[in-house]
Each structure stands twice: as C-alpha cells, then as structure tokens.
Amino acid sequence: MSHLRVALCQLDTVVGEVDGNADRIIDRLARVEAEGADLAAFPELALTGYPPEDLLLKPAFVAHNLAALEKVAAATSSCVALVGFVDVAGDEDLDDAVAHAAGAGTVAREAAIRGAPRRLRNAVAVCVGGGVLGVYHKRRLPNYGVFDEERWFAPGTTDLELYKVAGMPVGVSICEDLWFPGGPIPLQAQGGARLVVNINASPYSIGREADRRAVARARVTESGCAIAYVNQVGGQDELVFDGGSFVMDATGAVLGAAPRFVEASLIVDVPVPSGNVGTSLPVVSVSGAPRDQAGRPPPPAPPALGEEAEVYEALVLGTRDYLRKNGFTDAVIGLSGGVDSSLVATIAVDALGAGHVHGLSMPSRYSSAGSVTDATSLAEHLDIDLRSVPIENVHAVFTSVLADALGEDPTGLTDENLQSRIRGVFLMAVSNARGWIVLTTGNKSELATGYSTLYGDSAGGFAVIKDVPKTLVYRLCRYRNARAGKELVPESVLTKAPSAELRPDQRDDQSLPAYDILDPLLEALVLNDRSIADVVGAGYDPELVVRVAALVDNAEYKRRQSPPGVRITAKAFGKDRRMPITNRYRDPAPETTPAPSGAGSDPAAAGGGDGVLPRA
C-alpha cells in the first residue's frame, strides 16, 4: 500500500522574530524532507509567532511577514510545506498593489499596505517547488478567553479548494475551524478530501489535550476523513503551548502523537486510497504519485502525563521561555522557607539550571527558626546560591522615621506591609545590580483574595505560580519530590501551617478560610462564574461564601498591578477575566445571609495585605 508521509512540526516560535521563525521553518523542513516527508505542516502564524497581537497594526510588520513567506517558499522543493502567516487580502486593487510592491521589496510593500484598507487574514500558505501554490484563510475567528482575533482579522470567505499531494486529496484548515460542527472540514471531506491538515496555536490549560482529541474525533465522525493536527509549543508571555500534535485516521484511531511541552517532528505514514478519488471541489495538483517507499512503523506513543506532571511541565516551559525570550539568564527569589517560594525555586532550577537561580533569605523579628532552616535546606537540596540579608535594622529605622510622619508607631497592617515592602526593595535592588529577574511567589488563592502586599511580595518581573491554587502548590511539591526520589522541598515545609510571618504567631487561616475550603469556593466563583446563590445552594456556608466573594471583588485593583505569569487553567487572572476596577455591582446574596463584618471597607477584608479601595 502506498502512503502519504506527513510531518507535523511543532516549533517553539518567537513572536516578532520573523526572520528567525522563517529560518526555523526552513531548517525543520530540510530535516523532515530528508526523512522522506511528502508534506510538512507548521503551526498557526508560525512566521509571526502567536499571538502577534497589535504588532499586526504595524504595516511594516505585516510586510516583513510576507517577505519571509517568499523566503520560505523559495526554499521548498518536492516536500509540500503548510506555513502559517498573515495575509493581506480584500478587493482586487489592494491585492494587485501588494503583489506589485512585492517585486520592489519589503519597504514598497509596507507602503502599499499602509495606503490601503486593512483586511488582514489569518492564513496558511501551500508552498512547494520554490513558490506558493495556494492560500487558505481561517474562517472561524475565536473571540473569547485569551483570544481577540476579531480585533485584527477578517474571516476567510474565498472558495474552498483541495490539494492533491502524492495522490491524496488534502484539505487545509486553521485551529478554530476544527472546533465546531458544520465548518469547512466536513465541506472539504464532502468535496473529496481524504485528509484535512489543521494547523494550530492552541494554548495549554488543564485537561486541554483530552478536549482536542474529543473535538478531532467529532470532526472525523462528521466528515469521514482523517485529520492531522499540528500545534505550537513554547511559552509566550502568560500563555504556554504544549504541542501534542497527532494524526487521527478516518475511524478515529490515533496513528501517531508527538510529545508535549517539547519541540518535535511527528512523522506518520497515512495510507493513500487506491484508485481515483472523486472530488467535487477544485483540486490543485501539488505533487505526483506517492513515492514507492516502505511504510514507516507507527511512532511510539509518548508517555501519558497526570495532572500534576502536565501542570509542572507547563510551569517550567512557561518560565524558561519567558526568561529566555526576554533576555534573562538568571533569576532571584525571596526564600521565606514557605511552600510557595520553595515551589517557585524548584521550577526555576528545572527551567534555568541551578547555577542560574539565586535565593535571598530576609528574616525579620517574626521569622521562625524553622523557616530560616527550611530555606537553607531547600537551597542545599537544589544546589542554589542563598544569601541571608536580615531586615531587622532596616525595619527599625523605617519604624522610627514613620513614627515621626504618623505621630505614632506603625502597627497592625501598616507594620506588616512595611516588612514585605522592605523585602521587595532588597529583591529589586539585587535585580538592578545583577540583571537578574525577580520571580514572585504568590499563588492564585492569594491573588484571588488580595492576600498580598502591593510593592512588597507582589514586586517582581514574573509570577510563576499566579494561576496555581494553594492546594495544587502542595501537590506539585510532592509530585516533584516523588519524581526526584528524594526531598527537594523539605517535608517540614509541607507539614507546617502556612504563614506570612509578619506578626507574632501568625497563620494564614486567621485571615482566610482553610485552603481546602477556600480553593473549591474560588473555583466556583472565579473559574466557573457561579453566583453566590449557586454556591450556597451547593452546600457551602452562606456567610463564608459572601465573605470570599467580597475578597475577590475588592482585590481587582491589586491583580491589575501584578506581573505576568504562567496560565494553567481555563480562566487565569488577566485576559481570561477582565473585570472593571471601578465597579459597584455585587452578586446578590440570599436574603437570610448577613454581610461579612467590614466587607468592602475594613483593610483586614483584603486578607492581610493592603487595604481595599473604598466602596460606597
């Protein structure tokens, strides 16, 4: 039996590095062609990187991407390359102007784009034999969650066509085109396609791989043809792309899958139907009959990842790529001896290497001996540099100076936050002096409830675990210890009561509900947007639900000022959840539920961090 040899090339592209992305594509194309590939597919918008966001408003950027496409196309020979790029399309005058300017170079093309109506398309080019034989425009544009494609693109409206590659009629589609029934894929199959290649930049969230397989299987059932799904890999700001490309045959069986969270080329031989395949859509002949080559054995299935494993890999990849792509080689972390800073340090070591991670221990008069010892033990287990900078002297001076300004000694929340801000000053000073990025250590439970100090523990350049609930923090530490077969995070860190240690005998559960109660509440209120009445109806204490909802509402202004961090859930704070700061709407509580004492005005309602904004 003859085969169509398909290579799915999941690359870690860099947004804006157009020439570098083109070189990556050309290099990978040469490698898979040497292995006999008939067709190589690259991720969505591979030339620009995804998502390019408002770079698309710059005509020079769009023109540069078009010039890079010509460079990639010129490098093709017998292997067909499906390359994601930004197309300029619209009326014929614009198309002609841009095509004419192409001969005069990128600057002329930029001028043509600037002087014409903006009709950008998210596109894939079909390249072979040194040129572009066809272009497909994405028809369904996602405009929810982290996606804003309607801001930049118009949907594709051109007639569908197929491409005959090594004797197989092939359809082409892009990401969202796969996700809903009745889209272009069944139309391509009805028109004669026996394989549809879907190029993607699908960001990671917990459980997303299963969603993708289920959707692909639904399209296979709907269309009756095989689907090849290629995904991007790598970190881009808060997003992580996990790869996991796969080929699914017309029965829904997976013929091959690529590993997740790493660059890879998945090469799969897809059987070509014998005899002539009837088609009703226009067909562009791209390459001749299938080559007489022995069938390649199916690639071994990558190991399945449990929830803790996939989240951990996402955090490592997101941290590594954020630092690498932004020019940082080293990171500094405030090590308190607590579980959050321990997890961040462990992730940083896996992302950067122990020699590039630095800890700063900053004990105060309230730091327990156990916490100082735990920070030292963690540094020894991870083999990282740890420097101790006690803050007692500075704290005393600040207290004295503030007493003059306030007319009394700073106490309570003022004094607690003062300590946190002193530590933030030290970390940022080290960052300035050494060029190391500060990794903050706050988790999603704290971010949700405002249990943090602005310009204190929230000060830094990247928030590694900002989308990780506290209970998952503990699970990830235990997972990493088990994977190492030894203690990396000391057991004493995992068993002691969590505390900010900013006042005598302080514990988190004095300001917040226990985390095993708080985290499910936050999942309902934030991730699932459930009403207070819904959550109370599920069996939670009404007064507790109202209190937690008030903490979430009142902390919005603090979350806006937090650094970016890795997204691992379907609704992270940031682009996924865009709440107004000035906002008087409050979800109504059941009539019998009393309002929490001081909600919306008492600084303690912020969970022990800064005071909240005044509310009417």
Q: How far apart are CA 141 and CA 370, in angstroms?
A: 53
Strand boundaries in 106-145, DSSP class E: 120-128, 131-137
Q: Write the burial class of residue 244 (CB in 10 Å: 0-12 exposed, 13-18 middle, 19+ buried).
A: buried
Question: Could you give the CA distance from residue 316 to residue 346 in angstroms, rounded to a whole number?
Answer: 9
Distance CA 160, CA 284 (A): 11
What is residue 524's DSSP assignment?
I
Inter-axis angle of helices 59-74 and 106-114, nearest 10: 140
Q: Which of these is catalytic: 44, 209, 416, 556? A: 44
Which stretches of 275-330 are DSSP H helices?
A: 307-325
**Partners of 571 in beta bridges:** none
SS (H, E, C) 3-59: EEEEEEEECCCCCCCHHHHHHHHHHHHHHHHHCCCCEEECCCCCCCCCCCHHHHHCH
Query: Residue 267, CB half-sphere, CA atoms under 13 Å: how many?
Result: 18
d(Cα 598, Cα 604) in Å, to the nearest integer? 8
DSSP assignment of 409-467 equals: ---HHHHHHHHHHHHHHHHHHHHHHH-PEEEE---HHHHHHT-S-TTTTT-SSEETTTT
- As a whole number of angstroms, the distance between CA 71 and CA 576 comes to 36
Identify the bridge partners of residue 137 per DSSP, sorted by sequence position: 123
Whose CA is closest to 170, among 258, 45, 41, 47? Answer: 41
416 a catalytic residue: no
| Nearest residue to 138 (alpha-carbon basis) of 75, 198, 64, 59 | 198
**9 carries an active-site annotation:** no
Q: Is 138 considered catalytic here?
A: yes
> Residues 9, 79, 127, 175: which is the catalytic one?
175
Annotated active-site residue in 9, 110, 138, 571 = 138
Task: Say how far apart CA 474 and CA 443 lie, in whole Å.
Answer: 11
Opening angle at CA 566, ends 564 and 570, nearest 5 = 110
Q: How many residues does the chain have?
A: 616
Look at residue 334 and give its three-state secondary structure.
strand
Q: Which secondary structure element, helix H or strand E, spans residue 474, and what is its range?
A: helix 470-484
- Provide the b/e sequence for 37-70 (b: ≥16 CB within 10 Å): bbbbbbbbbbbbbbbbeebbeebebbbbbbbbbb
Greatest Cα pair distance in the chain: 93
β-partners of residue 265 are 9
Summarize the chain as % helix, strand, coil (round to 5).
Answer: 40, 20, 45
Q: Are 495 and 464 in contact (CB under 8 A)?
A: no
d(CA 137, CA 587): 42
- Give the catalytic positions in this structure: 44, 138, 175
